[in-house]
Amino acid sequence: MADVKTSNFIRNIIDEDLRAGRHAAGIHTRFPPEPNGYLHVGHAKSICLNFGVAEDYNGLCNLRFDDTNPTKEDVEYVDSIQEDIRWLGFSWGDRRFYASDYFEQMYEYAVTLIKKGLAYVDDLSADEIRAYRGTLTEAGVESPYRNRSVEENLDLFTRMRAGEFPDGARVLRAKIDMASPNLVMRDTVIYRIAHVPHHRTGDAWCIYPMYDFAHPISDAIEGITHSLCTLEFEEHRPFYDWLLEALGFPAGERPRQIEFARLNLSGAITSKRKLRQLVEEGHVRGWDDPRMPTISGMRRRGYPPAAVRAFCEEIGVAKSNSTVDNAMLEHSVRDELNCNAPRVMAVLRPLKLVITNYPAEGGTEYLLAENSPTHGGQRYVPFARELYIDREDFMEDAPKKFFRLKPGGEVRLKHAYIIKCEEVVKDDAGEIMELRCTYDPETRSGGTAAGRKVKGTIQWVAAEYALTAEVRLYESLLRDIPEGEEEPEHFIDALNPHSLEILTDAKIEPSVRLTAAGAHYQFLRVGYFVVDPDTTPDHIVFNRIVGLKDSWSKMK
């Protein structure tokens, strides 16, 4: 992570606060995910921002789970969120908290509001509350239960906690202003009844605080100095400030909420609800499917965490929403992998090639190949009479500018010799089964004709030594909508039916034989790949991370 602070409006606000003598104890942020699904690329931006700001100012960042809605929460999500944060390179130390840690305090704060005449129990249904709230141009209508006495409200709220009433029968609302131009301030609901066991508190509670109530109180209890939220919470900030003032938190010690633009990525689904639907309906293989924009999906796809952090740094922090081109994320991934992924040769769609003038007996030799232009190092690659090349590197009726292999044509085999195609062998159906070629033994490095030039160079793998691998080629989960075609009403109808292609007979050079899951490689001339966790000692599986073509660098 960069040591130099990148200036943005959030850091400018923090700098101004520090110059004014505020927060002498240090800067304190928090990342407050809901444990109701796996985190996606948008959360990666928030993680990098909250933990990054704390690091830049030698402060602290808490991990706090907003576990106030047990109907959708699960320990699986709690565990996955922690794994994602660690993978991105951040640590919360001993500061892992839960909103449920403060349920008793929150209840007491709600009682305080009732005693102050600033909260009341409402018997209206959810639909009625919505109708009474009014619109942006029309004031709301006060609930007929708004003016209950403090004593009655305290009694009803106590009985709500005791479980006397069914779900939806009553709520607790803040008593603010039903004519406020901000709809959030029109007596927002702060507690609801839900007879649902909680993953941490069990059956101890049957009423749960709403996010708007729990969030500012949790921030204040933890001593958060700057509460960084996405823009949709901007209209909630007046309630955030009203609540903390109403509860008597000293003005100089209250957290400051600051909103920033969420990350929208072209071609990516960043709605937890939609991502959950993809998983539950079986459109993908799980939350960590490499086509998913979840952090776990990006990890399994093979994105390096440093690349994701670099991407989040480059897009910066804005005050207005916009969409970032996915090509920019892929550019960061290529930048990182280009420096650190060793090069190997692989043939995804193998075509057999026999060098007829190569020794048939004892004809294996080992050629030196470069591992990485950045880190150097060399490896030996076996070369023999029978090889595999990629079918796309041969064309029988080749156009003039096709510089790979064709009948009568020559190419250089990477790290090896120049060969010439002499014969094409086909089966009865006319499908090409084998190429028969000759090689020039003097064109190897150090040979008398090593400097002879040909226009094409292709990769290859010795047939006898090749590893057979499964290769999964991933494309965007969403298809491109042709110009003139209407956007589908349901996002499921926009899914790309070709988002995954599985090749079961790819041939890889043997140097990757003992590779562990998560290892990155550049397959020469093909793209960047990672070893998938499905790999076993007898069956290696690669995921394509990203191709070699970098459209973002061209746009820049």
Q: Which helix (H) or strand (E) holds 87?
A: helix 75-87
| DSSP-assigned letter for residue 519 | -
Q: 30, 34, 55, 148: which is the annotated catalytic residue?
A: 34
- Backbone φ, ψ for residue 341 (5° rounding): -90, 120
Rounded distance, CA 166 to CA 162, Å?
Answer: 11
Q: Strand (E) positions, 350-400?
A: 350-355, 365-370, 378-383, 386-390
Q: 11, 96, 262, 414: which is the annotated catalytic residue?
A: 262
- Backbone φ, ψ for residue 333 (5° rounding): -65, -45
> Can you tell me whether residue 175 is helix, strand or coil?
coil
Rounded distance, CA 419 to CA 426, Å?
Answer: 20
Rounded distance, CA 175 to CA 9, Å?
Answer: 34
Please indicate whether residue 262 is annotated as part of the active site: yes
Q: Long-range contacts of range 322-327, CB-CB < 8 Å, 24 or more positions apart? A: 322/261, 322/264, 323/264, 323/265, 323/266, 324/263, 324/264, 324/265, 324/266, 325/266, 325/552, 325/555, 326/265, 326/266, 326/267, 326/268, 326/476, 327/550, 327/551, 327/552, 327/555
Rounded distance, CA 151 to CA 139, Å?
Answer: 28
Rounded distance, CA 277 to CA 288, Å?
Answer: 14
Please indicate whether residue 272 is annotated as part of the active site: yes
Please indicate whether residue 423 is annotated as part of the active site: no
Q: What totals of helices (H) and strands (E) does the chain contain, helices first? A: 13, 27
Intra-chain end-to-end CA distance of the chain, in Å: 23
Q: 186, 254, 256, 272: which is the annotated catalytic residue?
A: 272
Beta strand pairing status for 346-347 and 378-383? unpaired
What is the DSSP code string of 200-266?
A: TTBTS-SEEE-HHHHHHHHHHHHT-SEEEEEGGGGGGHHHHHHHHHHTT--GGGS-EEEEEPPPEET
Q: Which residues are designated catalytic?
A: 34, 262, 272
